Amino acid sequence: MSQNRQIRDVVFVDGVRTPFGRASELGIYASTRADDLVVKCIRELMRRNPQLPAERIDEVAIAATTQTGDQGLTIGRTAALLAGLPKSVPGFAIDRMCAGAMTAVTTTASGIGFGAYDVVIAGGVEHMGHHPMGSGADPNPRFMSERIVDPAALNMGNTAENLHDRFPAITKDRTDAYAVASQAKFAAASANGAIQPDLVPVATMKPGAGWTVNTVDEPPRPGTTLEDLAVLRTPFRAHGRVSAGNAAGLNDGATVALLASADAAEELGLPVKMRLVQYAFAGVEPEVMGIGPVPATEKALRLAGLTIGDIGLFEINEAFAVQVLSFLDHFGIADNDPRVNRYGGAIAVGHPLASSGVRLMNQLARQFEEDPSVRYGITTMCIGLGMGATVIWENPHWIPSRPGSAASSTTTEGSAA
């Protein structure tokens, strides 16, 4: 075994996603297969990067939370074949619930850092219209009989209500205000053309309605007001605080990203949108799973030799507003801090479970390009059954001499993977 192996730098080359749809019989993807959504993304990724020979792809990792039906059968391999990649390109499926795509990225990135891969495709898909969360699952009865987890932990809405109980300063008024801001920020980003460049048009067919080319997200509700949210019911608890207005919806969609070693990107002439600095996953009590990003971020920062003050941009998955606010409160960040979710988040655009991690990365990469004053950013999310995930990225466009640059005094470099 070589004693001279070094960890290689890993870069985020490109990422795309389908428009996100509502998971219902009336949703845009009601008659569309989950694997076809992934195929559309892979084909678009290859079209956007013609300098990449398909045979140079070393792995395709695709995540899905419910791995059955049209998002089962080792979907990383089947999607690669359906997308027309060479049969020599292997693939696999992965599941870490909401952090599926994020785990697909970190797992394959580790392979790049180790030297097993040069170029990979990683992403996720969730068709919650075809496969509702937990559909077909058979939890071991020991979870209840031995009280391994609180029964409330098996319902994500209940875990959000539990967070409200734990942090009474996070009121429904605060979560509703955060949700209204998320809708407004996403609408502004869309109007400014910040969202559309990463979207793959998807043609869908509905019986009796014919074909439609979908080019925008279905879930957003621009113009949402506090008055709109105040009258929504709280389905998880009578007189509760979690509603459909301050939580992500049930959605369908797919995402994929292209990752490479820095050397391979240079060799092939691939763009570099971000450099991977460090990542971490952490477990928490399942009944308050939304707090997961806090220990995951603390761990990732520690491993990278950074502090929360070094982070100039935050892309936090908005499964529930209370979950985001618990993170912000822990780190002393204001609800309306301009570093946080500049383009809005899942409360507006949706959260198709295993696919959302790459959406966060796409948005962070575009913000890096827009703002060279920022050196480091993070993508972070909570995960069902009590976990959190955080990935720290470095901005390749960072200009150290720019006034007000984030983390300009930081000299410690994180590892590549």
The two tokens of residue 342 are 């500049």
Non-local (6+) Cβ contacts of 266 within 8 A are: none
Q: Residue 341 and residue 254: Cα distance in Å, rounded?
A: 20
Q: Which residues are designated catalytic?
A: 98, 351, 382
**Can you tell me whether residue 283 is helix, strand or coil?**
strand
Q: 387: number of CA atoms within 13 Å, CB side?
A: 16
Give 142-168 as a DSSP string. HHHHTTSS-GGGGSHHHHHHHHHHH-T
The one-letter amino acid code at 360 reads L
Non-local (6+) Cβ contacts of 177 within 8 A are: 226, 335
Non-local (6+) Cβ contacts of 82 within 8 A are: 35, 36, 39
The two tokens of residue 352 are 């198709």
With both helix axes pointing from N to C terminus, report the angle between 321-330 and 156-166 in degrees, rounded to the nearest 10.
Answer: 40
Q: Residue 98 and residue 354: Cα distance in Å, rounded?
A: 5
